[in-house]
Amino acid sequence: MPDYTYKAINHDIGLALHRYDMIADGDRILVGVSGGKDSLSLLWSLSERLSRIPIRYQLYPVYVDPGFEGSFSSDLSMWCHSIGQDLRVEQTDFGVFAHSDKNRENPCFLCARWRRRRLFEIADTLGCTKIALGHHKDDIIETFFINMCYTGVIGTMLPAQPMFEGKFTIIRPLAFIDEPRLIRFARDQRFPKFENTCPSAAISKRQEIKSHLNRLYSGNKKIKDNIFRSLSHVNLEYMLK
């Protein structure tokens, strides 16, 4: 594992954890695991930190299987076990139903909403007050543009987001890390690659926004960081009312 990649990832996670006071001693944290590089990096990092920090917390990784053919849940469970974590697999038909003729909503929206709801239910059962998700800097920027372009709302995901009057808090420890760095980290760590079998994976609104943004980034290296910085520097005097 190259020292630079590890140190950079660890530094940015530590910065996010500290700035948003994400984790406290004794926390029980449900970790949403999808099988992608982001959630694997998140679970690995939160698990690895326990060996060298003074606070104690418990991790409960959960994979909500959307029900498509070619499930990788068994292999994902084996990988989690290899880093000392026991994965809870929830078998559902959320993805299958969302893409069926019975659903009149956007399939990605419905599937994501149902999977998120199930995570809250499981967190409640396990006594977890924190839910850690693998969203990174690019996800936060993309969500801002998705909301603006498709719902007419200015807003995005928060690094630490209280839900249900503070009963749960969604935390995003990867909030300061951009996607290319996570790709390098996952490669250096030799994380397994699991194929996303969702039929909408390559044609979603998020993928469309991502493509537009990548073209924008290619012209100026500073644009991504400037956009991200602007999300916490809003001049309300120059916004329409």
Q: Which residue has the higher pLDDT, 212 or 106?
A: 212
Query: What average pLDDT score do residues 136-143 get?
Result: 97
**Segment among 13-27, 102-116, 206-220 with least mean pLDDT:** 102-116
Tokens of 179: 């996607």
Split at pLDDT 50, 70, 90, the class of 2 is low
pLDDT of 105 reads 75
Condensed to tens digits (0 to 9), the pLDDT of residues 44-84 reads 999 999 999 999 999 999 999 998 888 899 999 999 999 99
What does the mean pLDDT of the chain come to?
A: 93
The DSSP element (H or E) to which 62 belongs, if any, is: strand 57-65
Rounded to whole angstroms, the Cα distance separating 106 from 109 reads 5
Q: Judge whether residue 100 has pLDDT over 50.
A: yes
Query: What average pLDDT score do residues 100-114 get?
Result: 82
The DSSP element (H or E) to which 90 belongs, if any, is: strand 88-91
Range of the domain at 149: 3-238
Condensed to tens digits (0 to 9), the pLDDT of residues 193-221 reads 998 888 877 678 888 999 999 999 999 99
CATH code where residue 23 lies: 3.40.50.620
Strand partners, 31: 61, 132
pLDDT over 70 percentage in the chain: 99
Tokens of 57: 């917390």
pLDDT of 1 reads 45
Rounded to the nearest 5°, which phi and psi values hold at 91? -80, 125
Residue keyed to tokens 């969500």: 143
Split at pLDDT 50, 70, 90, the class of 96 is confident
Q: Judge whether residue 92 has pLDDT over 60.
A: yes
Category of 26 on φ-ψ map: left (φ > 0), alpha (ψ -120 to 50) or beta: left
pLDDT over 90 percentage in the chain: 79
pLDDT of 79 reads 97
Q: Judge whether residue 167 has pLDDT over 60.
A: yes
The DSSP element (H or E) to which 143 belongs, if any, is: helix 137-150
Amino acid at 202: A
Q: Which residue has the higher pLDDT, 60 or 6?
A: 60
Burial 15-54 (b: 16+ CB within 10 A, else e): ebbeebebbeeebebbbbbbbbbbbbbbbbbbbebeeeee
Domain count for the chain, please give it. 1
pLDDT of 154 reads 95
Sort strands 168-171 and 160-163 into parallel, antiparallel or unpaired: antiparallel
